[in-house]
Amino acid sequence: MSSATAVRRLNLLTRTIGTGTRIGSMKHRVTVIGSGNWGSAIAKIVAENTKANPDVFHEEVKMFVHSGPQNLTSIINCIHENPKYLPGITLPTNLFATPSLPDAVSEASVLIFNVPHQFVSSICRQINGSCLPYARAISCIKGVDVSPDGISLFSDTIGRKLGIYCGALSGANIASEVAAEKFSETTVAYAPPEGSTHDFPQGLTPVPEELPAVDHVLFRTLFHRPYFHVRVVSDVAGVSLGGALKNIVALAAGFVDGLEWGDNAKAAVMRVGLLEMRKFGKMFFSQSCRSATFTEESCGVADLITSCNGGRNHKCAMLSVRTGKSIETVESEELNGQKLQGTITAREVNVYLKNKGLEDEFPLFTAVYRILNGETKVESLPQLIETD
């Protein structure tokens, strides 16, 4: 952390304590960073719950919007709808869109990240020095952060770059269905090393005692709705990896459906994919990842089933095979400006596995990468994933 950033964070903490406006009120302020279809759906849930729990949260929720030529921020605040990414869904009147990241985060003690994972580093650079030093975060981002130094979770990346603790949320959650209040469930993972300096050399700034405790109960209160059931666990690695790696498997399922090979073939791909997801977690995050998370929680097998049948990665892979177009062309035609996370994750994971000499240990992940890269044909998938 630079000296200038440290001074800004100290000023924020001093201002908070000095005015008493936030600590004295004994309530958390919540900000959602991201306004795509999933970001808007989560913001809707959060705003409903802050209004329903005025003893714990300030009612107003801010949502950061990267406004384009149409000035999406003004449109959302005027009609209480996100017509670009979540048309036809009424957003709560206590949800306020803002195009300014510093304004969005400056008073928030709870930050919810919901942006495409390729923008995380840029977002954190813009936020650094503006967020409260005792803020806590939840990442809804589905991907892994690959660098020459290795592979890490985006929850860890956010925490490291901002000097705060970040948990994760992931589950069988198609945004349009959640926003329409069709029943679903999700998994929230939160296990901060309170008082520990292992992950943060300078230590975590404690949440002021006057504020409600930031724990499993608080996050269930913030996210649980009658139509959106929440289980809170401590396995941040398992929840994060489930959300990231299932997108690679969903591409494979889409390839299979594009060839019209039937349900048996797709089930086989999903079985192999689930095993590779669990193996990846235990191999590279052995100290924190629980195998049971992939089979018992919504973020694991449930999310895999949903993504392999109705998610955008499955859809674009299927249409790519059926039309003969590249998956990038299908993405641009079908997703209204949003991006596939599966293709990026597949390529990043392969870079890591190749550097480790472990491509053969993950035949499905490797096959998907090679199909995307034009190195092999979709029809070769059964042979590529066959093992002794």
**Which residues are known to be catalytic?**
246
Starting at the earlier edge strand, list the strands of the sheet with 95-98.
95-98, 57-64, 28-33, 110-113, 136-139, 165-170, 184-189, 228-233
Spatial distance between the Cα atoms of 275 and 281, rounded to a whole number of angstroms: 10
Exposed / middle / buried, residue 40 (Cβ in 10 Å: 0-12, 13-18, 19+): buried
Known binder of ligand: residue 38?
yes
Give the ranges where 197-235 is alpha helix by DSSP (H).
216-223
Is 312 in a helix, a strand, or coil?
A: helix
Are 40 and 11 contacting, i.e. CB atoms less than 8 angstroms apart? no
Angle between helices 342-356 and 327-334 (to 10 degrees): 150
User: Could you tell me how many residues make up the chain?
Assistant: 388
Q: Contact 137/236 with Cβ under 8 angstroms?
A: no
Is position 9 annotated in a ligand binding site? no
Do 204 and 165 meet the contact criterion of CB atoms below 8 Å apart? yes
Main-chain phi, psi angles of 95, to 5 degrees: -100, 120
How far CA 228 is from CA of 48, 89, 103, 140, in Å, comes to 12, 16, 29, 15
For the chain, report the end-to-end CA distance as a whole number of angstroms: 50
For residue 163, give both structure tokens. 């000097």
Q: Is 35 annotated for ligand binding?
A: yes
Collapse the DSSP code of 141 into the 3-class scheme (helix H, G, I; strand E, B; otherwise coil) and give the result. coil
CA distance 104 to 211: 20
CA atoms within 13 A on the CB side of 197: 3
3 state DSSP class of 85: coil
Is 37 flagged in the annotation as binding? yes
Question: Does the annotation list 341 as a binding residue?
Answer: yes
Give how far Cα 27 sits from Cα of 57, 128, 143, 320, Å: 5, 23, 32, 49
Q: Is 182 annotated as a binding residue?
A: no
Would you list which residues are annotated within the binding site for substrate? 142, 312-313
Would you list which residues are annotated within the binding site for NAD(+)? 34-39, 119, 175, 312, 339, 341
Would you list which residues are annotated within the binding site? 34-39, 119, 142, 175, 312-313, 339, 341
